[in-house]
Amino acid sequence: MRSVTFAVMLTMLIAAVAFAETYIQMPEADTWIWPGQGPFGSSQQLRTNNISSFDQRIVMGFDLSSIPQEALVSTAYLNIYRYDGSAGSALECEIFRVTEPWNENTLVNSIAYDNTGSYDQITVTGNGWYTFDLKNLVQEWVQGSYPNYGAVFFGTGGAGLYQNFHSREAASENPYLVVEYEITGSFQESTFGAIKALYR
């Protein structure tokens, strides 16, 4: 009987450990930068293009403090809604890790970011939702590989004409980050060890 009970408890433990937690939140801050203009921290739109004379870039910050450092990130998607823009043009956008602290109410001219490689790319062709895959970046933030200063995305290819997205201040279709993760490590080891000790 004891072995059967142990097997049942072990099955329940494994199921609990493997259960994915979900984090869904809007950015804690978002803005777009346009050298010599702004700031746009309270704007209901986020704007980017691929025209050097404008150089508009979208910056977002995320509060991930509720996700434990030992979490294993399964998926992480940033969802943004394009509601307006240059008709009939396609804009390729890439997203990068920001490397300095910033404030949406004062950010105007530029933002420092890691330009060694983007985390994902999208091609904007019309109105609707678009998704960046940020699994690797969120995992790096959570485990402390890099400080979490947020991300910046902007047009890097295609027709280059302007594209407008809703910000967190917009009335609807706000950007949001969805992270699914599992907790491993101390919980699993301590609980499994305690159960084994009871049924030796």
pLDDT: which is higher, 54 or 191:
54
Q: What are the tens digits of pLDDT across the range 13-69?
A: 444 455 679 999 999 999 999 999 999 999 999 999 988 888 999 999 999 999 999
Secondary structure of 131-193 in the HEC alphabet? EEECHHHHHHHHHCCCCCCCEEEEEEEECCCCEEEECCCCCCCCCEEEEEEEECCHHHHHHHH
Q: What is residue 7's predicted lDDT score, i.e. its pLDDT?
A: 45
Cα distances from 29 to residues 65, 94, 105, 153, in angstroms, run: 15, 19, 9, 14
Query: What is the pTM assigned to this prediction?
Result: 0.83
Query: Using CA atoms, how far apart are residues 88 and 81, in angstroms rounded to an integer?
Result: 17
- Enumerate residues 6+ apart whose C-beta is below 8 A from 43: 31, 32, 167, 169
Give which of 95, 87, 73, 90 is closest to 27, Cα–Cα: 95
Q: Which helix (H) or strand (E) holds 4?
A: helix 2-18
Q: What is residue 24's predicted lDDT score, i.e. its pLDDT?
A: 97
Pick the CATH number of 24-183 from 2.10.25, 1.10.10, 2.60.120, 1.10.1240: 2.60.120
Where exactly are the structural domains of the chain? 24-183
Q: What is residue 12's predicted lDDT score, i.e. its pLDDT?
A: 46
If 0-12 CB within 10 Å is exposed, 13-18 middle and 19+ buried, where does residue 106 land? exposed
